[in-house]
Structures are given as structure tokens and as C-alpha cells.
Amino acid sequence: MINNRRQYAIPWSTIVAAVVFTLQVPTVLAQSVSGHGEDVTFNRDVMPILQVKCQECHQPNSIAPMSLLTYRDAYRWADRIREKVANRIMPPWHIDRTMGIQDFKNDRGLNDAQIETIVAWVDGGRVEGDPADLPPAVEFLDPAQWRLGGEFGEPDLIVKSEPYTLAAHTQDKWFRPVVETGLTEPRWVKAIEIKPSFPEGRQIVHHTLAYLMQNEQGGLTNLASTAQGVQRGAGLFMEWAVGKEGEVFNDDAGKLMLPGSRIGWEVHMHAIGQEVKDNQVELGIWFYPKDYTPKNRTVLRMFDARGRTDLDIPPGQIAVTQDFHVLQAPARLENFQPHMHMRGKAMSLEAIYPDGRKELISQVNDFQWNWHTNYIYADDVAPLFPKGTTLVITAWHDNTAENPNNPDPEQWVGWGDRTVDEMAHLWVDVTYLEQDDYEQQIAAREEAKKIAEDQVSADRDNR
């Protein structure tokens, strides 16, 4: 892999034109935006939005600080809801909707009409509405259970970290045990999920990394040599932080676990004022059937916008860092997950194709450091790149007093594990492809595009 780096710091005034960090609050009248020709009501217009976009987190025993399951709940928190929704802070979906790919499997963001509906309901007096309009309550999974359990059932394999007791008052801890998986034969992984213990573990675990440690020599003999040999080490198996759920791989791809494999854990914990005894983190793994072998291997990559030794953010500055990564084989990117800390403000992914074309793939323009949202591309738009494509990762950090999250704008900031330090990278699941598979997927998308265009043309002619 070829990496060329550059970094520079520039004043706030000159970066505003390049990346907009603030979004205008919608200004709407307290009138109907619901399409019903009537004032907005909670039961008919607001509750359906909360059920789809909010309640999975805003319910008892989940990760949100308050419940939003009832009218009384929403009425109590209406002003705060309006503020967070109007400024697009909540739900935590901070992708730039004006550029790049917009179709995601897990899109939990609000569109303009939904934001206007909620704002109009608050400004219009928080009307409850006709009880007959209230939709049935949604039955959610138990927050203590596996999030993927509703689709796949209990995991085929559960690997637990060793227990760790965290003192009530102490510095952040990074616990790095290594445990056996117990596997005695090769298995291909369809889905994975990391789950802190419930309920105390969720309060103290900041993030977790799970490294797959195994002997890859000979483990790839049943795989095609070109693309699959690009990444010979198993490496990072999964990363988890608040805002990220499990990972499900496409039917043509997966992760390979070999006999004798182990999991190397990194569990970052922070004290909460009470002792937490024997905290453990669990890794749930769902396998493909033994007689099924996906033709492609997916690898979790960390694409830096700046390396560990080079990230250097001056005090009182907006720092822009950038790095370049050349794909050594055709590949499909499955997701876009920026990772920064308290001074992080924006991150983008661009592609420079071998023929010189440039394309902005995705950008987050209002990064929120306490949410690590994983933007999972829809199958028909997940970016496909030929061998030799250069991925350009650009990160913006705001180390000024204007950043409300900045703990100290007078400090130089470098790379570090603590949240008061910084990072700048993308977590991306990369599925490496053979050349013929890449060409077939490109051809299939072109055919689908042509069919869609022909249908639009036919519909137009029939009007």
C-alpha cells in the first residue's frame, strides 16, 4: 500500500467555504405539514416518526437518557426534542445529504418533512390528537439481548473477554486479554456483533476492538490467489462503539475463522463513580452453513487521514489532514464510519480512479464525537472500485474555543487513545474481488440502470 500524507492548519474563516459545520434550523409555521390539511398532532403525525427513528434507543433500559414511548414522554421533552431535531443532532445521522451516496441499509436520519412535522407539533402547542389515530405500539427486542438475534437467533459461537473489575474512581483503562475461540475447523462468518454486559457494562465501556488472531499460512489455499491474497492477515475482526450495532455480510462475502484461532480484545473503560465487578464483553458470531463458501473475503480496514505519529493539531486552529490509500485489487466498500474524538468536525471519502476521474463518495459534515455511526451502503450503490483506485481520506478537527466539545483550545493535540487526544481514520469493511467478479458486478449495475431508465421513459410515453 502506498501512503502519501500531508497536513496543514488554517484559520476558521478560510475553511467555512469548504465545509459547513452548522445547519440552519427549519423555520416553519405551526400549521399542517402532514398532508392531512389539518394541524399537526402527536398521535397521527409525530408518533409514527418516533417509532421508526427514535424509540429503539429511547425506551427503558436502552442507551438513551429518556423514554419517548408515549405522548406524555414526548410532551415533557418537547423543547429538547425540537432543539436536537431541528439542528440535526438527533437522531445521530450526520451524513451530508447534499453530496455523495445517499442510500443506506440503516438510514435512521430524518428527512426535511419529518423535521418540519416535529418542529410544527412543538410550536403548535403539542396537540395530542384523536386517540383513534395513534398507531399500535412497536414491540422492540430486549435491549439486553443480541440486536441481530431477531434475524438470526442466538449466535452459533459466543466468545467472552476475561472479567475485569473497574474501580469507582480511576483513570480510563484499556484491558487487552486474549481468549481462545475453541474452533476446531474452518468456518465462514455471516454476521458478528459485540455486546457489553448489561446494564453496568454499557455504562463503562467506551469502545471495544476484537482482533482475530490465527495462522493464515495455508488458510487461504481454497481462495482465489489475487484479491484474497492482498490482505493475508485476519487482523481486526470487529470494532464496536456507541451508535454501532452488528455487521451482516452480503451473501457473496464473509470473514474466515480458522482452527485454533483466538480473539485479542481491547476494551476501553471509564469510571462512573461506582465499582463495576467482573465486567465482560461478548462477541456473538453467526456462521454460514458448513457446505457454503462465499467467494469473497471481507476485511475491516482502518484508513487513516493521519497516522499515529503525525497527527498534530495546533491550538486555536482548524486542522485539515489527509492521506491516500491505493487499492491493490478490485474492491467493494460496504460502509463508511468516521472515527475522531472531541475535536473532530468532518470527514470525507473520495476516490481517484486509475483514469484520473475523481468522485466524492461520502462525507460527514457535523461529526459528533460521542456517536460512532456506521453508514452501511445499500447493496445496489455500495461503491465498486477497480484495482489501482486511490482512496482519499480527509479529516477536519476544530481545536478552537468555538467548539463546545473542546476541553482545552490552548493545547496542541496529537494522536492518542484518550478522548481528550485525537484520532482521524475511517473504519471500512472492504470486500476484495477477483477481476471477473468485479466486471460482472459493474455490468449488472449498468443493466439495472438501463432497465430503470427505460421504465421511466415508458412511463413518460404512457402519460
Would you call 312 helix, strand, or coil by DSSP?
strand
The reply to whether 1-21+295-432 and 151-294 are identical in fold is yes
Type of residue at 84: K
How high is the pLDDT of residue 354? Answer: 97
How high is the pLDDT of residue 372? Answer: 85
Q: Respond yes or no on whether the N-terminal peptide bond of residue 91 is cis (omega within 30° of 0).
A: yes
The string of pLDDT tens digits covering residues 79-107 is: 999 999 999 989 999 999 999 999 999 99
Domain boundaries, the chain: 1-21+295-432, 31-133, 151-294
How high is the pLDDT of residue 73? Answer: 96
CB 292 within 8 A of CB 188: yes
How high is the pLDDT of residue 197? Answer: 85
3-state helix, strand and coil shares in percent for the chain, rounded to the nearest 5? 20, 30, 50
Low-confidence ranges of the chain (pLDDT < 50): 1-32, 37, 219-233
Question: What is the second-level CATH architecture of the domain 151-294?
Answer: Sandwich (2.60)
The string of pLDDT tens digits covering residues 352-372 is: 999 999 999 999 999 988 888
How high is the pLDDT of residue 209? Answer: 93
User: Class for domain 1-21+295-432, per CATH?
Assistant: mainly beta
Angle 56-110-53 from CA coordinates, rounded to 5°: 10
Q: Which helix (H) or strand (E) segment is 460 a member of? A: helix 435-462
Cα separation of 411 and 400, whole Å? 10
φ, ψ (nearest 5 deg) of residue 114: -65, -40
How high is the pLDDT of residue 34? Answer: 52
How high is the pLDDT of residue 429? Answer: 94
pTM of the predicted model as reported, rounded to 2 decimal places: 0.83
